[in-house]
Structure 1
Amino acid sequence: MRSCSVKKDERFRILHVIRPAAGGMKRHLIELLRHTDYSFFAPAVAGPPGELLDEVASLGVPTYPLALRGELAPWEDVKAVFSLLSLLRRENFSLLHLHGFKAGLIGGLVGWLLRPPPSIVLTIHNSLFFGEGSGKQRFLARIEAFLSRRTFKVIAVSQALRAELVTKFHLPSEKVVVIPNGIDLTPFTLGVLFPTILRELPLPAGVPLLGTVARLVPQKGLPCLLEALALLPAELRPGWLIVGDGPLRQELEDKARALGLSHLVVFAGYRPPEEIPSILKVIDIFVLPSLSEGLPLALLEAMAAGKPVVATAVGGIPEVVQEGRTGYLVPPGDAQALARALLSLLESPDRAREMGEAGRKRVEERFSSQRMAQEVMAIYREALAARG
């Protein structure tokens, strides 16, 4: 993958800047680094010390500690601005690639302070607006819009996210491009490993199994799926395996108990990424009832595993899931519509298998990490050419 035929000091140095990340944003960055053209680019990563920087370092990519927090923290954010400014004055980076709104805020400020200003590319992975958006979110949108004037391109991971950036952030449409997320397809072409998690499932034999891989946070809409399960006929209710953790776990466990579903719902907690392909291979239907999304990697992985999908028509999900062909789309927060879609697949397992196969082919054709990296590197080349 790496070919260092060009001397190191002749390659273009790219600095990725990222906040604390353990989900899709982290995996996006790792896949981008794995498929970077190392004969032309020399990437490095600045972010908070910990698991992410350790994984980056294991790839042989240089890392720089940067105390960047996920939430707004004015004093710490000011220190992060000056730390990043100092790093860029010491090191000769050709381009900054900022990941997410917080890195965009910090890196955007640095772009205004540094002379000469660096070339900047910003990737937005998720919507800033959950619901109609709070006053703080609208204020941040105005700041981001101002700072983005120094940004060469803003990459959105879906058309829906691009539309938000143009309409709500008022970014120039020609500045915002769409590069969908991509995944490594290799684990899904290998033989299925029997995940140890299945030996822990207290489910009756022969019960169909729904699966969800997600953070347990409000925007994932997981209480709605519990309500949908309660609406299904008792004799057709499937099991539900939830892989992931987060602040809503106790609330979800309490709700499952109140609805009489505890015997069917298994909270597996966090599982390392290398286990996910095997887990997805053994579920029957992947369900993602989100209220807000960018373009979820877990959805792409489920389709790569050949699973039919029932998901909400939010964010970039309708750009991936083809209604009636690779799965079903339902309105967010609509438990009855979710229950009807699940029942349709539970009653037609042959149809479900056909949808899963169509989804697998779609992801293989359109959503590989190699394709994503190639398109990002094309943006790098444009930015560097424009800089001269």
Structure 2
Amino acid sequence: MPTIVSVFGVEPIRIGGTETFARELSTQLAGLGWDSVLCFLDEPPMEVRRFLDLPNVTIEVLHDSINVSWKSAKGLASILRRYRPEILHLHFTGFLGVYPWVARLCSVKRVFFTDQTSRPAGYVLHRASLWKRGLVRVINLPLTKVSCVSDYGYRCMTSLGVLPDDRYEMIYNSVDLSRVCPSAERAAKARRRYSIPEDRTVVAQVSWIIPEKGILELVEAARLVLQKNEKVQFVFVGEGSFREQYAKDAVAMGLGDHVTWTGLVQDPFGDGVYDLADIVCQVSNWEEVFGWVIAEAMAYGKPIIGTNVGGIPELVADQKSGFIVERGDSAAMADKILKLVENPELRKKMGRLGTEAARTRFDLHANVKRLVELYGVGGNDNSRHGG
């Protein structure tokens, strides 16, 4: 059978956006008679492996693929020689590297790259220098297409001028809507699991617990909110190197049992994270190229509070499906949280608008179908820029 090899420079530690994308892609490829080889940085845990277990799927480990080392290049070459794919698709591996040329030397016909890069805070769109444009064109000569996951990402890439505009495509990251099944029972179980009183409105942020995600700013917003309304619980879902320090900071602020740190949740949908949340925040400091958690929360009908960075304003319609605040502005975050806490009808209204947007723009099945057509597999191969 013809084969596509997908390289993901991430560890498949939970059933998140990358893993649901990999499963949907493999499912659609199976229907077209193609095999799917999924390469991750490490072996997936059993729950994730079961989720990805399809008849046409093979899982491989490609250590250090995110850093494009000599060792990882040799590892990729070995995988390509073993499976002899028609197509190689690179995700989370960096735009500058030898992988496209490794694919060319292994007779891979088409090579795709998806840009999932969030830029540093304050990043300004710019045109690359002449020598850099020339170097990048040589390095990426074997690339068939670059897929961008937001209009923001598309503008960042095309502004560099390193490749012709017709080599870029925009297809949003997406949500598996078939897994979005709101459940009061799951919400109640999650509330009991984390010992959250029934009378508290839950404000959640699902992300890595690192400075780039604005965690400390949201903890400060929690302090301001709780000064005015003690019937609120802040839940931080995720793991990260700063989790212990931020938890200590919350205690030092006197927030006590009003802040919950769940650690890693392997399946946020199945474990009721979005069922539990009344309000979802994504208050990043860096320029998020896309907010997967935002799209997931919108699909669940939750109002969003996001920062005015990167692609987040594309996802959240300010004053409609949520609120946009400036990066680092804890007072503004607190103000919007209180508005939503005190107005359940506003939460419902914004949630409905978010759900409509998610179903229109972030439907995983529809957007993966577009990607498969871009591959030239089982559909027309006409590229277009759109969402």
Report if TM-score (shorter chain) is over 0.5.
Answer: yes
Matched, 1:170 2:165: no
- Residue number among 77, 80, 87 corresponding to 1:85 in the alignment: 77
Distance 1:95 1:287, change over 3 A: same
Distance 1:38 1:384, change over 3 A: closer
What does residue 250 of structure 2 align with? 256
Rounded to whole Å, the distance in 1 between the matches of 2:379 and 2:97 is 22
Rounded to whole Å, the distance in 2 between the matches of 1:231 and 1:218 is 19
Matched, 1:124 2:118: no
* Contact kept in structure 2, 1:309 and 1:328, CA below 8 Å: yes
* Contact kept in structure 1, 2:37 and 2:58, CA below 8 Å: yes
Matched, 1:16 2:11: no
What does residue 385 of structure 2 align with? none
Rounded to whole Å, the distance in 1 between the matches of 2:134 and 2:243 is 34
What does residue 286 of structure 1 align with? 280
* Contact kept in structure 1, 2:238 and 2:263, CA below 8 Å: yes
Matched, 1:304 2:299: yes
Q: Which deviates further from its counterpart, 239-248 or 168-177? A: 168-177
Q: Which runs of 5+ in 2 are unaligned?
A: 382-387
Rounded to whole Å, the distance in 1 between the matches of 2:196 and 2:78 is 56
* Contact kept in structure 2, 1:18 and 1:100, CA below 8 Å: yes
- Residue number among 173, 182, 193 corresponding to 1:181 in the alignment: 173
Instruction: For residues 217-240 of structure 1, give each alpha carbon's deviation from its aligned partner in whole angstroms, at most 9, with x where no partner exists.
Output: 222111111111222362414211
| CA-CA distance at 1:37 after TM superposition | 5.2
What does residue 55 of structure 2 align with? 60
* Contact kept in structure 1, 2:8 and 2:93, CA below 8 Å: no
Query: Letter of the aligned partner of 1:124 in structure 2?
Result: D
* Contact kept in structure 1, 2:147 and 2:169, CA below 8 Å: yes
Instruction: For residues 309-356 of structure 1, give each alpha carbon's deviation from its aligned partner in whole angstroms, at most 9, with x where no partner exists.
Output: 111122222111111110001111111221222122223221121101
- Residue number among 299, 308, 314 corresponding to 1:313 in the alignment: 308
Distance 1:166 1:190, change over 3 A: same
Matched, 1:272 2:266: yes
| CA-CA distance at 1:190 after TM superposition | 5.7
Identity across the alignment (%): 24
Q: Which deviates further from its counterpart, 339-348 or 138-147? A: 138-147
Q: Which deviates further from its counterpart, 369-378 or 223-232? A: 223-232
Rounded to whole Å, the distance in 2 between the matches of 1:307 and 1:385 is 36
DSSP 3-state at the match of 1:194: helix
Distance 1:190 1:311, change over 3 A: closer
Q: Which runs of 5+ in 1 are unaligned?
A: 1-8
DSSP 3-state at the match of 1:105: coil
Between Structure 1 and Structure 2, how many residues are aligned?
368
Rounded to whole Å, the distance in 1 between the matches of 2:198 and 2:52 is 44
DSSP 3-state at the match of 2:31: coil
- Residue number among 370, 376, 382 corresponding to 1:381 in the alignment: 376
Distance 1:28 1:220, change over 3 A: farther
Distance 1:305 1:383, change over 3 A: closer
Measured on the aligned residues, the alpha-carbon RMSD in Å equals 3.0
TM-score of the superposed pair, with normalisation by structure 2: 0.84
| CA-CA distance at 1:85 after TM superposition | 1.9
Q: Which deviates further from its counterpart, 97-106 or 154-163? A: 97-106
Query: Letter of the aligned partner of 1:222 in structure 2?
Result: I
| CA-CA distance at 1:214 after TM superposition | 1.0
What does residue 217 of structure 1 align with? 210
* Contact kept in structure 2, 1:311 and 1:329, CA below 8 Å: yes
DSSP 3-state at the match of 1:20: coil
DSSP 3-state at the match of 2:324: strand
Q: Which deviates further from its counterpart, 224-233 or 197-206? A: 197-206
- Residue number among 180, 192, 199 corresponding to 1:199 in the alignment: 192
